[in-house]
C-alpha cells in the first residue's frame, strides 16, 4: 500500500482574505499608534470648503465685552501683585496663533475640538486655547495640519483655578457635561453664586488670570470639600475662531 500524502489547501495562510484582514488590522494599528493623524489631515482637506467665515461678531460680542472688562480688572490687580512677588508663568502675546474650529464634539464624553492649525504652524502640545469669553482647554494632540484640544468639560480635564473674591485656589474638573465642577479643599470655604473663576496664578499648566467662568450653584460640603457648578464664559459649541497661546513655564 502506498501512503498518499495530502497537501492541504485549507490552511489559514493560504486564504487571501485572511491576509487582507491582517493587512487592514496592521493599517488600523498604525492609525491608532499615529493617533489618527492621517484621518485628521484627510478630514482637514475635505472639510476645508465648509469652514466658517469671519462672520461671528453678533453672536460673540457680548462675551467679548464681558471678558474684556473682567480681564482688565484682573490685570490691574495682577500688576500690583506681580511687583511684589515673582510670577511662575508667562505667556507671550506675540505668539498667539488664530485658528478655525474644523470639528467639534461638545456633547457626550468626548469633549474636544479640532483646529485647523497643527505642528506645521508651530502649535505645541500643552499650548492653551482661548476663545471669546476665556479659556477653552489645552492642546492635547497635534498632527501636521490640525491640533486637538481637550475642553474644560472633558472628564480628562483637571486644572487649577483661582477664586477672585476670596483669593482661594481650587481644582476644576470636567465631568462630561456642560458644567465642570469646582472643588475647594476646605469645608468652610467662602464661595457664593456669581463668584468669578480664573486660571490659578500657582498653576504650572496655565498662565494666570485667564477668565474661565462664574459660579452657578454651590453644593453642600461633603467630606471636608466644597463643590460648585461652574458656568463657563467661553462657549465651545458656538465658537468658530480661537486663539492658541504658547505657554512658557
Partner 1 sequence: MDKFFKKNFSIITLIFIPIIFLWHPNWLGIFGIQPYWPLFWLLPWAMIHGSSSGIIFGLFLGLILDALTLDSNFSQIPGLILCGFIFGRIKLNRDLLVGHFRYGLICSFGSFLCGTLYFLQILFHNFSDSTYLLFFPSFYNILAEVFLTGLFAPLICSQLFRVFQYSRK
List interacting residues with partner 1 (CB under 8 A): 21, 24-25, 28-29, 31-32, 34-36, 39-40, 43, 46-47, 103-110, 112, 114, 140-141, 148, 150, 154-156, 173, 175-178, 181, 183, 222-223, 225, 227, 237
**Least separation in angstroms between CB 146 and partner 1:** 10
**Least separation in angstroms between CB 245 and partner 1:** 19
Closer residue to partner 1 (CB): 1 or 46: 46
Closer residue to partner 1 (CB): 34 or 204: 34
Closer residue to partner 1 (CB): 67 or 178: 178
Closer residue to partner 1 (CB): 19 or 25: 25
Q: Please answer whether residues 151 and 115 qualify as being in contact, where contact means their C-beta atoms are separated by less than 8 angstroms.
A: no
Cα–Cα distance measured from residue 236 to residue 133, given in angstroms and rounded to the nearest whole number: 10
**Least separation in angstroms between CB 8 and partner 1:** 21
**Least separation in angstroms between CB 125 and partner 1:** 11
**Least separation in angstroms between CB 198 and partner 1:** 22
Closer residue to partner 1 (CB): 175 or 214: 175
Q: Which residues contact 93 (CB under 8 A, 6 or more apart)?
A: none
Q: Any idea how long the chain is? A: 249
Cα–Cα distance measured from residue 1 to residue 236, given in angstroms and rounded to the nearest whole number: 81
**Least separation in angstroms between CB 219 and partner 1:** 9
Q: Please answer whether residues 235 and 242 qualify as being in contact, where contact means their C-beta atoms are separated by less than 8 angstroms.
A: no
**Least separation in angstroms between CB 207 and partner 1:** 21
Closer residue to partner 1 (CB): 137 or 207: 137
Closer residue to partner 1 (CB): 118 or 201: 118
Amino acid at each position: 500500500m502506498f501512503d498518499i500524502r495530502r497537501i492541504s489547501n485549507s490552511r489559514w495562510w493560504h486564504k487571501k482574505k485572511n491576509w487582507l484582514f491582517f493587512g487592514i488590522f496592521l493599517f488600523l494599528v498604525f492609525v491608532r499608534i499615529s493617533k489618527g493623524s492621517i484621518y485628521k489631515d484627510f478630514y482637514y482637506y475635505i472639510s476645508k470648503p465648509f469652514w466658517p467665515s469671519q462672520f461671528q461678531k453678533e453672536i460673540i460680542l457680548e462675551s467679548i465685552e464681558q471678558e474684556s472688562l473682567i480681564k482688565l480688572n484682573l490685570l490691574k490687580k495682577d500688576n500690583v501683585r506681580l511687583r511684589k512677588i515673582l510670577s511662575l508663568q508667562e505667556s507671550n502675546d506675540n505668539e498667539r496663533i488664530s485658528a478655525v474650529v474644523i470639528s467639534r464634539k461638545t456633547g457626550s464624553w468626548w469633549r474636544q475640538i479640532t483646529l485647523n492649525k497643527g505642528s506645521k504652524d508651530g502649535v505645541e502640545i500643552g499650548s492653551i486655547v482661548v476663545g471669546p469669553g476665556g479659556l477653552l482647554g489645552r492642546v492635547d494632540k497635534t498632527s501636521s495640519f490640525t491640533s486637538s484640544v481637550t475642553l474644560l468639560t472633558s472628564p480628562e480635564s483637571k486644572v487649577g483655578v483661582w477664586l477672585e473674591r476670596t483669593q482661594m485656589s481650587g481644582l476644576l474638573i470636567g465631568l462630561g457635561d456642560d458644567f465642570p465642577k469646582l472643588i475647594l479643599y476646605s469645608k468652610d470655604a467662602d464661595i457664593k453664586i456669581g463668584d468669578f473663576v480664573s486660571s490659578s496664578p500657582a498653576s504650572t499648566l496655565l498662565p494666570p488670570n485667564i477668565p474661565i467662568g462664574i459660579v452657578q450653584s454651590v453644593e453642600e460640603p461633603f467630606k471636608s470639600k466644597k463643590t460648585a457648578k461652574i458656568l463657563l464664559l467661553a462657549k465651545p459649541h458656538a465658537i468658530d475662531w480661537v486663539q492658541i497661546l504658547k505657554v512658557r513655564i
